Amino acid sequence: MDTDKRKILSALCHGAIFLSVTILSIGIPIAILFITDDSVVKNNAKESLNFHINIYIYGIIFGILISLLIGFPLLVLLAIVNFVMPIIAILNVMNNPNQPYSYPFIFRLL
């Protein structure tokens, strides 16, 4: 696969989270995972899916903790992480397209 196509698909996987907080944002990496034959793009799609799943799980947990007054600051922190980490991932895959990006501090379920 050529480098430009690899960059675009990998960046799209990580940037999908900015499109919406619904199933659409998780559907794009799933579609790319099944469409592409490139192992780097597949790994970026899996990592993006793992990040999405972690964000959803943490959001539910922190939402439940809102009644304990600790949930709101944690949700704010999660929103910042949700914004900053995909940008770092996109910049990383654009600068180094031959290596998949791995998010720090997440559980890898896929």
Q: Is the pLDDT of residue 1 over 90?
A: no
65-89 in b/e burial notation, b at 16+ Cβ within 10 A?
eeeeeebeebbeebeebbeebbeeb
pLDDT, tens digit, 9 for 90 and up, residues 72-85: 899 999 999 999 99
Question: Which parts of 36-70 fold into alpha helices (H)?
Answer: 39-64
pLDDT, tens digit, 9 for 90 and up, residues 21-69: 667 789 999 999 999 999 999 999 999 999 999 999 999 999 898 888 8
Residue-range domain boundaries for the chain: 3-95
- CA 67 to CA 37: how far, in whole Å? 46
pLDDT, tens digit, 9 for 90 and up, residues 22-33: 677 899 999 999
Question: The whole model's pTM is what?
Answer: 0.90
